[in-house]
Amino acid sequence: MLTDQDKRDFVEDGVICLRNVLSADEIAKLSGSVDRQIGALSTSPTGYDFEDIARQIWTSSDRAVSTQGATRFDMERMRDTVRADDRARPLLEDELQAGEGCFFYDVAAWKHDHGVRQVAFDSALPALVADLLDTQYLNFWEDTTFVKGPRSRQKTAFHQDLAYFRIAGDHCVIVWIPLDPACPENGVVEYVRGSHKWNEVYAPNVFISQTPIAASPEQRCPDIEGQRENYDIISFDVEPGDVIIHHVLTIHGAGGNMTDQWRRAMSFRYCGDRVRYFDRPGAIPQVGVRGDLENGDRLFSRDYPVVWPKPWPEVNLAELYRAQAMPDRTTTESRPDA
């Protein structure tokens, strides 16, 4: 499915868009998972509405930040870190009035959702990514859900992914999968073309602000939002079935959703041969991992399944991989026919 031009563009730009990679059935599996995640927001230990949290952080109140059922992040610490940053500012779309938009975030659906695992493990993606990375083995790292609800003002701060992950090496890509038509007006991801070749690693930020995560030793990402004219920023209008693949060092961000339609998306992260486990200071702890790797280890672990090559062509890896229990979640899997 990849052309030589695709590979050259990825090497040069750090991002490519590929059309009609996933089937309607595969998109339906992911859409169903995302809709279930949003429906469980009030009780989920891992699902957050970052737009609501941003409203709380930018007020003068010192009350505890309400996260509904989520417990993964220390939001009081995030609030204090943002407020202590003299360069922090709200990242909001000026064209929209303050309202009740939603910037939904969740993670690790593959561990409890059979449909997500089918797409991550058994679609065209693993072979395609393995070809792009020219890797002998391909490990699945994680999935993340990003949803901008209708008329959501909250932007996603420009950032680089590597320092969020507990890995060493940049032999890693992120596959962004739109589940609704996406364009600049509703928050499609924007990329700083060629930024993967800057030979820099930037501190992870808190998404709703450019403020670095406090524990990270890396330098702050440049203020791309405030100096857009100085950077080669590109985006792609995409439809469900298309995918955008970017290098783990490519800087990217997103606007709010200025339309009356939902913009749902899921991203998959895959790692190639040259990646090693590294307990990186400031990286975000993952959900539900056993943590049985040491620094320098290959990612051969139940936490990071090998999804390419398959042991035989017809094998369904999603069926072979038994669902792991998630903290505070049922061990019953979500299946399309359940």
Which of 231-245, 250-264, 293-307, 310-324 bottoms out in mean pLDDT, i.e. has the lowest? 310-324
pLDDT band at 83 (very low <50, low <70, confident <90, very high): very high
pLDDT band at 67 (very low <50, low <70, confident <90, very high): very high
Which of 59-63, 119-123, 272-276, 286-290 bottoms out in mean pLDDT, i.e. has the lowest? 59-63
In the predicted model, is pLDDT for residue 325 greater than 60? no
In the predicted model, is pLDDT for residue 337 greater than 50? no
Give pLDDT, residue 26: 98
Q: Judging by beta carbons within 10 Å of its beta carbon (0-12, 13-18, 19+), is residue 198 exposed, middle or buried?
A: middle
Going by C-alpha positions, the residue among 327, 301, 328 that lies closest to residue 142 is 301
For 234, list phi and psi in degrees, rounded to 5.
Answer: -125, 160
Average pLDDT (180-207) is 97
Which of 97-106, 218-227, 321-330 bottoms out in mean pLDDT, i.e. has the lowest? 321-330
pLDDT band at 134 (very low <50, low <70, confident <90, very high): very high
Give pLDDT, residue 327: 44
Domain coordinates in residue numbering, the chain: 4-286+298-315
Average pLDDT (72-99) is 90
In the predicted model, is pLDDT for residue 323 greater than 80? no
pLDDT band at 60 (very low <50, low <70, confident <90, very high): confident
In Å, how far from its chain's centre is CA 56? 23
∠ Cα 252 104 161 (to 5°): 30
- The CATH T-level fold of domain 4-286+298-315 is Jelly Rolls (2.60.120)
Q: Could you give the C-alpha distances from 228 to 58, 240, 285, in angstroms and in order?
A: 24, 28, 31
Give pLDDT, residue 141: 98
Q: What is the pLDDT of residues 216-233, one digit of tens each?
A: 899 999 999 999 999 999
Give pLDDT, residue 330: 38
Q: What is the pLDDT of residues 147-183, one digit of tens each?
A: 999 999 999 999 999 999 999 999 999 999 999 999 9
pLDDT band at 328 (very low <50, low <70, confident <90, very high): very low
Give pLDDT, residue 215: 84
Give pLDDT, residue 333: 57
Contact 306/2 with Cβ under 8 angstroms?
no
Average pLDDT (43-66) is 91
